[in-house]
Structure 1
C-alpha cells in the first residue's frame, strides 16, 4: 500500500492511498469523507484491482475546506486526483455522498468511467432526507460535533450490528482528535452540498454499465432512492440486500462483497 498527496489545480491537495494491481477502481466515501472508511472492503478488492481511496477536501489529511462546497466541486477534486494518477478511465464505486459525486462524474465526464456502482445513494434528496439532514445540522449547531457524531452512529449502522459492536463504536468515537470549529464548518458545508444535489433529469445520459446497491433497512437513503436510480439509468441493475443498514459493507460484508465484486469483475 502506498499513501501520498495529490496536488490540485487550485493549490489544494488530496491525501490518497493505493493498494493492489490491475484495472483502477476508485472507492468514494460518503459524508464523512475518509479513505479509511473503505479499509476492509479495499483489502478485499485489492486482490483483483488497483484500488484508490482518498480523503475528501476538508477531511483527514487532505487540505482544509474554506467556505462552501458542492457535489460538483467534489467531483472536480476527484477528476484532479485521476489526472494526477494518470488514470484516464476507472471503475467507480460511490457510497451515499460518494454516490452523488459518482453520478456527477458519469453525467459530465462519461469517458472517465468504465463501470459504475452506486451504493446507498440518491439522485435528489426527498422531503424525508431534507428533514433528516436538517435535524443533523440542528444537532451540530446546538450540541456540537461530538453530539452530532454520537447521533450519526444510530443512523448509519444497522441496529443489530450496533447492539453487537457497541464497545467497538464507543472506542471509535472516543479515540479520535478533539473536534474543532473547522470540523463543524466542514460538516455543515458538506451536508448543504448533499441537500443541493439534484441530477434526476440527467440520469438517462449515463451510458456505462451500472449497478445500484442498497440494504432494505437503510434509513438514511431508503431503498426507494435506489429503485428510482435503477429505473432512470439505462440498463442499470438493482441489488437490494436483505439487511445491513446504511453501512451494509460493515454489517454484512459478505453480502455487500457478492453484490459488488461480480459486477466489477464483469
Structure 2
C-alpha cells in the first residue's frame, strides 16, 4: 500500500497493478479500491491500473471536514503526481464518474481518454432517482436497506447466481462522519457548466435498467460533452461493469486501446 499527500496534508492511499498505458479507475460513493476487484484483472492485462482510496475510505486519511467531488478529483491528481504519471486514461463509475468529470474538465492535459459509467452531471439538470428508490435506501432496518441497494446494483438472476460478498455496497470500516461527507459530496455535485470544456475522447456507459442513477442521464452527459458517445447495456443495473463484465469490459478496453 502506498500513499500520496493531498494539498491539505491528508494521506491518500493508492494501489497499482498491471502494465501498459496508465488507467485511473475511480470507484463509487463511500467505496474504496475494492469496488474494482472483480474486474480489475481484465484491465491489468492491457493497462497499468491505478486505484485510489478516497479520503474517508480504506487506508486514506479521514479528516472531519467537508468533502466534494472537486476535492476528490484534486486528490487523484496528487496520486498521479506521486506516481510520475503525466497522462492517463480515466474510467469513473457512479460517484467516480462525477469525480472523473472534474478531472477531465480541470486537468484536460492529463486525460488521454475518458469513460463515464452509471453517473450523472449533477445539479438541477440531472435526472434524479425516484422517491421510491430514495425511501427504499433510507429504511431504518439495515438489512432491508442493504437488500434494496443490492437489487438496485444487480438483477435478481445475478444475485441468485452470485450469493457472495459484494464489493460495491460501501466501505464497511468508514466512520460515520466520512459516510455523511461522501453523501454530501455526491449530492452536491454539479459539473454542468464545466462539461463542455472536456476535450478528451469520451464514452458514456450505462445500464438501461439503472434506477439508482437513471439512464436518462447518459444522453445528457453525451450531449453536453463535445463529441462524446453513448453505449447502453440492455437490462443492466447500476453495477453493469460486474454483471455485464464481458461486454462492458470489452467496450472499455477497446475504447481506450484505440486512443
On whether the aligned pair clears a TM of 0.5, the verdict is yes
- Indicate the residue corresponding to 1:31 in structure 2: 29
Give deviations 1:30-66, integer Å, cap 9, x for gaps: 1132101112322111111110012111111111131
- What does 1:18-167 align with in structure 2 at a 5 Å threshold? 18-124=16-122, 126=126, 128-129=128-129, 131=131, 135=135, 138-139=138-139, 142=140, 148-165=145-162, 167=163
Distance 1:67 1:151, change over 3 A: farther
Gaps of 5+ in 2: none
More helix by percentage: 1
CA shift at 1:199, angstroms?
Answer: 1.4
Q: 1:143 to 1:260 in 2, by over 3 A?
A: same
Give the aligned CA root-mean-square deviation in angstroms: 2.4
Per-residue deviation at 1:189?
1.6
- Asked if 1:209 is matched to 2:201, the reply is yes
Residues 150-186 of structure 1, C-alpha deviations (whole Å, 9 max, x = no match): 4422222223212322x314x879xx96x6xx63322
Residue equivalent to 1:218: 210
C-alpha change, 1:4 and 1:207, in structure 2 (3 Å) is same
Q: Please give the alpha-carbon distance, in whole angstroms, between the structure 1 residues aligned to 2:133 and 2:121.
A: 15
Pair 1:185-2:183 in alignment: no
Q: Is the 8 A contact 1:157 1:245 kept in 2?
A: yes
For residue 24 of structure 1, report the CA deviation from its aligned partner.
0.6
Partner residue of 2:186 out of 182, 194, 197: 194
1:238 aligns with 2:227: no
**TM-score, normalised by the number of residues in structure 1:** 0.86
After superposition, what is the alpha-carbon deviation per residue over 1:230-256, rounded to whole angstroms, capped at 9, x for unaligned? 111111111101122100111111011
- 2:164 counterpart (164, 168, 172): 168
| Cα distance in 2 for residues equivalent to 1:67 and 1:148 | 27
Per the alignment, residue 11 of structure 1 pairs with 9
SS in structure 2 at match of 1:223? coil
Q: For this pair of structures, how many residues does the alignment match?
A: 254
